[in-house]
Amino acid sequence: MFLTAEFSDAPSVGAALRALKAGGFDAAQMDVFSTEPVELPEGLLERPSHMSLAAVAGAATLGILAILFVRYTQYDYPLVTGGMPLFSWWATGVIFYEFTMFGAIFTTFATFLVESGLLKRRRAIPDPVLVAGRIQVRVCCDAGRAATATECLQRAGALNMVES
Amino acid sequence: METTVEMRGDGLRSALWRPLNGLSRAYLLALAVAFLVGAWGLGCWGYQIVRGIGVAGIRRPTMWGFYLVNFVFWIGISHAGTLISAILRLTDAGWRKPVTRAAEAITVFALMIGAAFPIIHLGRPLVFFWLFPYPNSRLLWPNFRSPLLWDVTAISTYLTGSVIYLYLPLIPDLAELAQHATGWRLRLYRLLSIGWTGSDRQWHSLERAMKMMAGTILAVAVSVHTVVAWDFAMAVAPMWHSTIYGPYFVAGAIFSGIAALVVAMSVIRKVLHLENYLQPVHFENLGKLLLLMSLLWVYFTVSEHLTTWYGNSPAEMRVFGERVRGRFAPYFWFMVLCNFVLPFVLLSIRRLRSVATITIAGVAVLIGMWIERFLIILPTLSRPHLPAAAGFYSPTWVEISITASTFAAMVMFYLIFCKLFPIIAVWEYKHVSHG
């Protein structure tokens, strides 16, 4: 089951999250919904990400593929170069650079879509409707721990609470 | 079907969403004029396709004319958004918030317009896709050693990156708008917001992606205008074959980009009544940046011309002479007036600095930078190494019409964008900061 509590400010949300963590809930069970990003104290709601790694991997992959492709095309149809090398690292440098950047851009965007869950079409439960100026905290818990979660949220100053 | 965005919530949202509703007479008139001029330009391009590239004024030896001037100019303008927005985002400049989206939109539209010019310039534009590497019946591959192929790669990367960079921070606004819109707007916003719920996981991902994109796009933006500069610098032509052309072009691009941003912001501030959000302090800060870039531009221009003059190479001195005291001299000195004298006077004297004067400086810089692109291309081509091969260029009505239509297209795209999407990112403006 899910408990969703509404708060009016970020410090109350911080207090609620701290109370929930002290009550034995972990970050994976909690979600915060808002119309603007809420800055919380560091370490309170860690969301691990592989975006940087994915971007570097994407950049390297596309960059190397670009070099291989340019090399292949230049040997596949050898132009008359007057004794100059068919494949030139200097001239390929720009293509390599741009494709490396393209790889980074593309994988950053793709990783954003995956990590933010935007690609998930089917959601287990409907997400709360965003209300301007309000911050909602949702906790996933079993029926046995609902009372603890409710107490944590109420103590932190929840304006109202919904069970789903 | 009537579609609206219901005004609900706080004053900020009401103010920033207000421009999305209703169509004023002035707006419709501006849109109609821009559309007509744009359509006229498209018609002229059609005429050129049917009659051949000979209807343009490009003749041997000046095989690059207005079209390439416009190409370099618009690619330069495109540096307004993504580059400036990325720098401000990476340095966490608080005043950037109402500025970034207006800037990012300029980038996307200017790039679209700029990228069209090499195609317009082609003798056979309908086969432009031959530039792309795909297996074909001709058994040919594009020549990747050519700077023109570098352009294709660089601009494609920059355009893709800029569209994503504009789109990412739009998603939260679109999701919120979808809650308040009706009719086709509701469907549009819902489709584009791709299921944004505003969860902290999504905010974390968005902020991380924006930071990474800002870093990457900065590197791409610098490379794009460097590659455009290399279109010229790689040719062993008088006053083109220069080592400082890359940074010179990048500085010029940022300079003209800031000027375009100042002018666009000034217009939307007035037309969309956003005086409370686009405040004098934003113009003041951009004015200071514009002044800095003006000084940098002078530094590069002097470096470029002084070394040429001191070298005293006959071929280079012919071009130099054409620029500073020959047929192109009036344009050259007018450019100096627009790019340095006027901005320096208007922006360095504190008492003179206001929204109006900063806008005037911006307009002057835009005119000056267009002339600069003209002066980079034409004097060199009309005075090549062989004195006997000298020639002259004068644009035809077709080229002038197509040039005018690109400015109209920019206005039209911008007007439509401002009606569909909030020009100031609501969530960025209101970013809660309770660390």
B211 contact A CB<8A: no
Rounded distance between C-alpha atoms, residue B142 and residue B132, angstroms: 7
Rounded distance between C-alpha atoms, residue B227 and residue B245, angstroms: 10
What pLDDT does residue B81 have? Answer: 76
All residues of chain B having their beta carbon less than 8 Å from the beta carbon of residue A91 are: 144-145
Rounded distance between C-alpha atoms, residue B372 and residue B363, angstroms: 14
Q: Is A162 helix (H, G, I), strand (E, B) or coil?
A: strand
All residues of chain B having their beta carbon less than 8 Å from the beta carbon of residue A67 are: none
Nearest CA in chain A to B426: A36
Nearest to B343 by CA among B286, B421, B272: B286
Which DSSP string do the residues of B373-430 spell out, in sequence order? HHHHHHHHHHS-SSGGG-------HHHHHHHHHHHHHHHHHHHHHHHHS-SS-HHHHH
What distance lies between CA B304 and its chain's CA centroid?
24
The verdict on a CB contact (< 8 Å) between A116 and B207 is: no
- Which CATH number is A2-35+130-163 given? 3.30.70.120
pLDDT higher than 90, residue A119: no
Residue A127 vs residue B290, higher pLDDT: B290
Rounded distance between C-alpha atoms, residue B40 and residue B54, angstroms: 19
Rounded to 5 degrees, φ, ψ at A31 are -135, 145
Q: What is the pLDDT of residues B419-435, one digit of tens each?
A: 999 988 888 776 633 33
The verdict on a CB contact (< 8 Å) between B220 and A41 is: no
Q: What is the pLDDT of residues B254-288, one digit of tens each?
A: 999 999 999 999 988 888 888 888 888 889 989 99
The verdict on a CB contact (< 8 Å) between B157 and A130 is: no
DSSP state of A35: S
The verdict on a CB contact (< 8 Å) between B144 and A92 is: yes
* A25, A112, A140, B216 from A144: Cα distances, Å: 13, 35, 12, 48
DSSP state of B181: B
What pLDDT does residue B432 have? Answer: 38
Mean pLDDT of A99-109: 96
User: Which amino acid appears at position A76 of this protein?
Assistant: D
What residues does each domain of chain A span?
A: 2-35+130-163, 51-115
Nearest CA in chain B to A137: B199
Residue A66 and residue A95 in contact, taking contact as beta carbons nearer than 8 Å: yes
The verdict on a CB contact (< 8 Å) between B212 and A120 is: no
* A44, B57, B239, B318 from B66: Cα distances, Å: 58, 9, 19, 22
All residues of chain A having their beta carbon less than 8 Å from the beta carbon of residue B198 are: 33-35, 130
Q: What is the pLDDT of residues B196-249, one digit of tens each?
A: 888 889 999 999 999 999 999 999 999 998 999 998 999 888 988 989 999 999
All residues of chain A having their beta carbon less than 8 Å from the beta carbon of residue B199 are: 31-33, 117, 127
Rounded to 5 degrees, φ, ψ at A60 are -65, -45
**CATH code (residue B201):** 1.20.1630.10
B130 contact A CB<8A: no
Mean pLDDT of B297-302: 95
All residues of chain B having their beta carbon less than 8 Å from the beta carbon of residue A14 are: 434
The whole-angstrom distance between B344's CA and the closest CA on chain A is 36
B89 contact A CB<8A: no
All residues of chain A having their beta carbon less than 8 Å from the beta carbon of residue B130 are: none
What distance lies between CA B102 and its chain's CA centroid?
12
- Please report which helix (H) or strand (E) contains residue B218, including its range: helix B200-233
Interface test with chain A among B12, B163, B434, by most A beta carbons within 10 Å: B434
Answer yes or no: is B157 within a domain: yes
All residues of chain B having their beta carbon less than 8 Å from the beta carbon of residue A76 are: 141
Q: pTM here?
A: 0.90
pLDDT higher than 50, residue B311: yes
Angle formed at CA A48 by CA A47 and CA A52, multiple of 5 degrees: 125
Enumerate residues 6+ apart whose C-beta is below 8 A from B426: B12, B13, B16, B17, B173, B176
Residue B382 and residue B392 in contact, taking contact as beta carbons nearer than 8 Å: yes
pLDDT band at B390 (very low <50, low <70, confident <90, very high): confident
pLDDT higher than 70, residue B151: yes
Residue B332 and residue B372 in contact, taking contact as beta carbons nearer than 8 Å: no
- Please report which helix (H) or strand (E) contains residue A33, including its range: strand A30-34
Is residue B394 classed exposed, middle or buried when 0-12, 13-18 and 19+ CB atoms within 10 A define those classes?
A: exposed
Backbone CA torsion sign across A86, A60, B111, B341: negative
The verdict on a CB contact (< 8 Å) between A51 and B205 is: yes
The verdict on a CB contact (< 8 Å) between A101 and B150 is: no
Q: Which residues pair with B353 in a beta bridge?
A: none
Tokens representing residue A2 in the block: 């899910």
Task: Name the residue facing B201 among A34, A76, A116 (closest C-beta).
Answer: A116
All residues of chain B having their beta carbon less than 8 Å from the beta carbon of residue A52 are: 212
Task: Name the residue facing A98 among B139, B203, B223 (closest C-beta).
Answer: B223
Task: Name the residue facing B427 among A35, A113, A128 (closest C-beta).
Answer: A35
Mean pLDDT over each residue of chain B, to the nearest integer: 89
pLDDT higher than 70, residue B2: no
Residue pairs spanning A and B at CB distance below 8 A = 165
Q: Count Cα neighbours of B404 within 13 Å in the Cβ-side half-sphere.
A: 17
The whole-angstrom distance between B425's CA and the closest CA on chain A is 11
Enumerate residues 6+ apart whose C-beta is below 8 A from B183: B1, B2, B3, B4
Rounded distance between C-alpha atoms, residue B400 and residue B409, angstroms: 14
Residue B328 and residue B375 in contact, taking contact as beta carbons nearer than 8 Å: yes
pLDDT higher than 60, residue B7: no
Q: What is the pLDDT of residues B73-105, one digit of tens each?
A: 999 998 877 777 888 788 877 777 788 888 889
Rounded distance between C-alpha atoms, residue B308 and residue B322, angstroms: 13
Q: DSSP H helical segments within chain A, as ranges? A: 10-22, 51-76, 89-115, 146-155
Residue B61 vs residue B296, higher pLDDT: B296
Q: What is the pLDDT of residues B349-358, one digit of tens each?
A: 988 899 999 9
B61 cis-preceded (ω within 30 degrees of 0): yes
Residue B268 and residue B102 in contact, taking contact as beta carbons nearer than 8 Å: yes
Tokens representing residue B152 in the block: 């294709």
Rounded distance between C-alpha atoms, residue B113 and residue B370, angstroms: 15
Compute chain B's Rg from CA coordinates.
23
To the nearest 10°, the Cα dihedral for B196, B198, B199, B205?
Answer: 70
Structural domains in chain B (count)? 1
What pLDDT does residue A93 have? Answer: 92
Residue A99 and residue A66 in contact, taking contact as beta carbons nearer than 8 Å: yes
Task: Name the residue facing B198 among A35, A40, A77 (closest C-beta).
Answer: A35
Q: Which residues pair with A4 in a beta bridge?
A: A138, A162
Interface test with chain B among A7, A8, A18, A35, by most B beta carbons within 10 Å: A35
Contact residues, B window 234-293, toward A, CB-based 8 Å cutoff:
none
Question: How many CB atoms are located within 10 Å of the residue B51 CB?
Answer: 11
What pLDDT does residue A35 have? Answer: 86
Q: What is the pLDDT of residues A37-94, one digit of tens each?
A: 888 887 788 888 999 999 999 999 999 999 999 999 988 888 888 888 888 888 899 9
- Please report which helix (H) or strand (E) contains residue B219, including its range: helix B200-233
Length of chain B as a residue count: 435
Residue B79 and residue B91 in contact, taking contact as beta carbons nearer than 8 Å: no
Domain span at B40: 11-130+142-429
DSSP state of B62: B
Mean pLDDT of B115-120: 91
The whole-angstrom distance between A43's CA and the closest CA on chain B is 12
Nearest CA in chain B to A43: B435
Residue A20 and residue A146 in contact, taking contact as beta carbons nearer than 8 Å: no
The whole-angstrom distance between A30's CA and the closest CA on chain B is 9
Question: How many CB atoms are located within 10 Å of the residue A104 CB?
Answer: 29
The whole-angstrom distance between A94's CA and the closest CA on chain B is 6
Answer yes or no: is B137 within a domain: no
